[in-house]
Amino acid sequence: MDDKIKKIKILIVDSDEMMRIYFRDIFWIHGRSNEYEVLMASTLEEAEKIISDKNTCPDTIFLDIIMSPKKSHISAFEITRCIDFVSKIKNNKDLNQVKIILYSGHKEEALKSNLSKIGIDGFLIKGESMPKEIIAFTDKIHGTRTNN
Amino acid sequence: MEPEPIIKLENVSLWYNKGKPIEVKALKNITLDINKGDYAAFFGPSGCGKTTMLYSISGIDRFQEGKILINGRDISGLSNQELAIFRQTGIGIVFQQFNLVPSLTVLKNVSLPMLFVGISSEKADIEAAKLLKRLDMTEYADRYPFELSGGQQQRVGIARALANDPPIIIADEPLGNLDSINAKKVLEFLRELNEKDGRTIIMVTHEAWSLRDVKTIFHMKDGVITDTEHITSKKTVAESLSNHLYEQLSAVKKSDKSTGEKEDVKLEQLSAHLLSNFLLRGYSMEEIQRFEEILNELFANKITAKEFKDMINKPFKDGGVGLWKKKASSIANYLEEIITKRKDIEGIYKSLEQSKETSIFDEIHHIRDWLVQGYTGELTPWQIMALDQVISDRVRNLITAKQVPDLFDLSKNKFGVGLSFRASHLMAEKLELILDNGENSSKKEEENNNNEPSNYEEIAKDALKKL
């Protein structure tokens, strides 16, 4: 029955497995699996595959700045890749309706301003959002219910 | 619209030590639904599997057969990481023993579960402060658990259970270590979490009176659900429990064919069960069961009121319950009143709720307050705790009158109270005045206690050996 109702597809892109599971499972834990389907990707390449398949293409992407393997901190390289990823989607007429939210612990204003210029849809600061705040934020951007 | 089950168990079985000679089947083919927004309780005696049930639902105990579905998803298939996230964000557990981290402040105890899911320390502290405010514990935020009373620690325990805002709250005998006032506060708060927040509450208890706000009761015995009851506004918990007890006793009587006697289930047998659980709140299950046996003898007129009083006053090791004289007298008087008035079971239940009889924790606190009256020194929270422990052990006859001043005098680092010699003896004498167990001057005790105690644990062990 439930499968026939069109669910909102969300893609979480994060290199940290625990964070991916956490983000996905809070929708289940709070009984919202009937409305949201959360897909996960650990790299930008994996994310691109999911986006390019029309069966899995999400309505919204929650994107962290993906750190390169073996690196201990985010550098200009990762930030550039993130900006490129966003602009690629926003410049594609088949995909530019996909909402992109930067879901990251990075709060630099310069980054925010750059991403805003290329059409990013919002920012959610990781580490400052409680489970229900994440759900409420997601509800808000999709115009669905926000209870509790 | 039918409410949807937030928790669904399908043929769940759990064994401890499966395949070994000591194998125990703790849950036997359990199937049940708990709806979203329910306030459910698993009710039954010690060892019936109710705690195993809680820990299975929480993903802590792994069951071997069946399915547990949370919002339609089977948790038996979860990976360790998924289980960890589920336990941290899906379920908040309130423990009987509070389980606070002693080296962390109250605030940090509450914020800890948030750090596990990547919440920043600053944000976690802000959220923890909000929760402490809700529990009326703001002023204790910077204190350490050992500086708090049992009731305050339990409120911190509840705040911590709410840390990641879980939709399900599990309370494992949450009132077990609380005095009456704090027990009531906790019950009120659990009701608020259910009614106001809409959270699903699941409680495990063996105390009938703590079921007052629940909506569903799962009666458990020997690893199975023997009955499920949905409490409606027309049916009170008291009615429901009494019906259940009637049925249980009827079943016992029906199966008891050896005597060939047809016996009606007596009101008194039901009352004995309820009364024992209530009047001996805070005592161990063994003590409560012993009390119930003696009470049944009284109800069956096999013993007189005087004999009853003497029996419950006798130490546990001698076949009694070890109640101190004043408590034994007040209970005997209270029971006499019930017997004389021949109240029906619901009446008894209601009068129990209003009874002045308090749990052992209240009594110990009252005794301690009385003992320290006139004491001019300062007592640290640790000393108060140690003092309560000695009083509790003496009240239960686990230690002798002679050991009391020694334990009061024993230094803190040997787990004594650390009072001066004079204060120790004064307080010990006062304690014996109020207890008046009639055995205090026993020569036997003196003979048994010629050696000076070296530390508290040794004394307690000695006392336990004698039981």
Q: Please give the C-alpha separations between residue A51 and each of A11, A63, B55, in angstroms, as whole numbers.
A: 9, 13, 40
**Within this chain, do residues B374 and B408 fall inside the same structural domain, yes or no?**
yes
Query: Using CB atoms within 10 A of its CB, is residue B220 exposed (0-12), middle (13-18) or buried (19+)?
Result: buried
Give A-chain residues touching B6 at CB under 8 angstroms.
Answer: 31
Longest dimension (CA), chain A: 47
**Does B194 have pLDDT greater than 50?**
yes
Inter-chain CB proximity A33 and B86 less than 8 Å? no
In a domain, B185, yes or no: no
In a domain, B342, yes or no: yes
Residue B401 near residue B443, CB atoms below 8 Å: no
What is the torsional sign of CA B85, B86, B91, B96? Answer: negative
Q: Note the pLDDT of residue B223.
A: 93
- Residue in A18, A25, A31 closest to B167 by CB: A31
Q: Note the pLDDT of residue B340.
A: 64
Q: How many CB atoms lie within 10 A of CB B106?
A: 28
Tens-place pLDDT, residues B97-126: 888 888 889 999 999 999 988 899 999 999
* d(C-alpha B281, C-alpha B323), whole Å: 12
Q: Which two tokens stand for residue B212?
A: 């007052």
Q: Which two tokens stand for residue B431?
A: 């304690």
Q: Which of B237-251, B273-287, B390-404, B453-467 has the highest mean pLDDT?
A: B390-404
**Within this chain, do residues B459 and B368 fall inside the same structural domain, yes or no?**
yes
3-class SS letters over B319-370: CCCCCCHHHHHHHHHHHHHHHHHCCCHHHHHHHHHHCCCCCHHHHHHHHHHH
Inter-chain CB proximity B85 and A30 less than 8 Å? no
pLDDT band at B377, cuts 50/70/90?
confident
**Within this chain, do residues B364 and B341 fall inside the same structural domain, yes or no?**
no
Domain boundary among B298, B328, B354: B354
Inter-chain CB proximity B118 and A130 less than 8 Å? no
Give strand pairing partners of B202.
Answer: B40, B170
AA identity, residue B465: K
Query: A109 or B402: whose pLDDT is higher?
Result: B402
Q: Which residues touch B461 (CB under 8 Å, ≥6 apart)?
A: none
- Using the Cβ of A26 and the Cβ atoms of chain B, whether some distance falls under 8 Å is answered with yes
Q: Note the pLDDT of residue A68.
A: 67
pLDDT band at B248, cuts 50/70/90?
low
**Does B382 have pLDDT greater than 80?**
no
**Does A3 have pLDDT greater than 60?**
no
Inter-chain CB proximity A29 and B81 less than 8 Å? no
Mean pLDDT computed over B234-258: 57
**Within this chain, do residues B271 and B330 fall inside the same structural domain, yes or no?**
yes
Q: How far is A9 from chain B (nearest CA, A)?
A: 18
What is the torsional sign of CA A135, A141, A146, B3? Answer: negative
Inter-chain CB proximity B120 and A17 less than 8 Å? no
Give strand pairing partners of A12.
Answer: A40, A62
Helices vs. strands in chain B: H and E counts, helices first: 18, 10
**Angle formed by the axes of helices B325-341 and B421-435, to 10°?**
20
> How far, in whole angstroms, is CA A147 from its chain's centroid?
22
> How far, in whole angstroms, is CA A61 from its chain's centroid?
3
- If you compute the radius of gyration of chain B from its CA atoms, what whole number of angstroms results? 24
Q: Note the pLDDT of residue B411.
A: 82
Q: Note the pLDDT of residue A43.
A: 92
**What are the sequence ranges of the domains in chain A?**
2-142
**Does B30 have pLDDT greater than 80?**
yes
Q: Which of A106-110, B348-352, B447-451 has the highest mean pLDDT?
A: A106-110
Mark which residues 96-125 of A lie under 8 Å from B by CB. 105
> Nearest-CA residue of chain A relative to B125?
A128
Inter-chain CB proximity A29 and B166 less than 8 Å? yes
Q: Note the pLDDT of residue B101.
A: 87
Q: How far is A21 from chain B (nearest CA, A)?
A: 6
> How far, in whole angstroms, is CA B66 from its chain's centroid?
30
Mean pLDDT computed over B395-423: 82
- Residue in B73, B81, B90 closest to A17 by CB: B81
Domain boundary among B301, B321, B354: B354
Residue A101 near residue A61, CB atoms below 8 Å: yes
**Angle formed by the axes of helices B456-465 and B381-395, to 10°?**
20
Q: Which two tokens stand for residue B183?
A: 């027990």
Q: How many CB pairs under 8 A join A and B?
A: 60
Torsion-angle region of residue B231: left (phi > 0), alpha (psi -120 to 50) or beta? beta
Query: B143 or B18: whose pLDDT is higher?
Result: B143
Q: Which two tokens stand for residue B100?
A: 């606070």
Could you list the residue range(s) of the whole structural domain that residue B456 is in? 360-465
Longest dimension (CA), chain B: 73
Inter-chain CB proximity A18 and B89 less than 8 Å? no
The number of CA neighbours under 13 Å toward the Cβ of B104 is 16
Q: Note the pLDDT of residue B184.
A: 85
- Residue in B4, B85, B164 closest to A21 by CB: B85
Please choose, from the candidates B195, B201, B202, B235, the residue with its C-alpha nearest in 3D space to the C-alpha of residue B220: B202
Residue B241 near residue B349, CB atoms below 8 Å: yes
Q: Please, what's the b/e burial string for B223-250 (b: 16 or more CB within 10 A of its CB; e: otherwise)?
A: bebeeebebeeeeebbebbbebbeebbe
> How far, in whole angstroms, is CA A67 from its chain's centroid?
15
Q: Which two tokens stand for residue B45?
A: 């005696």
Q: Note the pLDDT of residue B383.
A: 80
Q: Note the pLDDT of residue B465.
A: 46
Query: A109 or A15: whose pLDDT is higher?
Result: A15
Give A-chain residues touching B164 at CB under 8 angstroms.
Answer: 130-131
Q: Note the pLDDT of residue A14.
A: 93
**Angle formed by the axes of helices B360-372 and B381-395, to 10°?**
120
Residue B41 near residue B175, CB atoms below 8 Å: no
Site of tokens 């089977």? B74
The number of CA neighbours under 13 Å toward the Cβ of B445 is 14
* d(C-alpha B93, C-alpha B87), whole Å: 9
Number of domains in chain B: 2
Q: Please, what's the b/e burial string for A123-139 (b: 16 or more CB within 10 A of its CB; e: otherwise)?
A: bbebbebbbbebbebbb
Inter-chain CB proximity B89 and A131 less than 8 Å? yes
**Within this chain, do residues B296 and B367 fall inside the same structural domain, yes or no?**
no
Tell me what percent of the residues of chain B surpass a pLDDT of 70. Answer: 76
**Within this chain, do residues B381 and B443 fall inside the same structural domain, yes or no?**
yes
* d(C-alpha B226, C-alpha B231), whole Å: 16
* d(C-alpha B165, C-alpha B160), whole Å: 10
Inter-chain CB proximity B118 and A22 less than 8 Å? yes
pLDDT band at B282, cuts 50/70/90?
low
**Does B452 have pLDDT greater than 50?**
no
Task: Provide the mean pLDDT of chain B.
Answer: 80
**Within this chain, do residues B439 and B375 fall inside the same structural domain, yes or no?**
yes
Give B-chain residues touching A1 at CB under 8 angstroms.
Answer: none
Tell me which CATH code domain A2-142 carries. 3.40.50.2300
For an interface test with A, give the residue of B4, B70, B71 to mutate (most A CBs within 10 A).
Answer: B71
Give A-chain residues touching B86 at CB under 8 angstroms.
Answer: 25, 29
Among the listed ranges A119-123, B333-337, B391-395, which one has the minimum average pLDDT value?
B333-337
Inter-chain CB proximity A25 and B127 less than 8 Å? no
Domain boundary among B326, B354, B382: B354
Q: Note the pLDDT of residue B246.
A: 57
- Using the Cβ of A126 and the Cβ atoms of chain B, whether some distance falls under 8 Å is answered with yes
* d(C-alpha A25, C-alpha B59), whole Å: 15
Task: Provide the mean pLDDT of chain A.
Answer: 88
Among the listed ranges A23-37, A67-81, B53-67, B361-375, which one has the minimum average pLDDT value?
A67-81
Inter-chain CB proximity B36 and A31 less than 8 Å? yes
Give strand pairing partners of B224.
Answer: B221
Torsion-angle region of residue B91: left (phi > 0), alpha (psi -120 to 50) or beta? beta
In a domain, B435, yes or no: yes
AA identity, residue B161: A
ipTM: 0.90
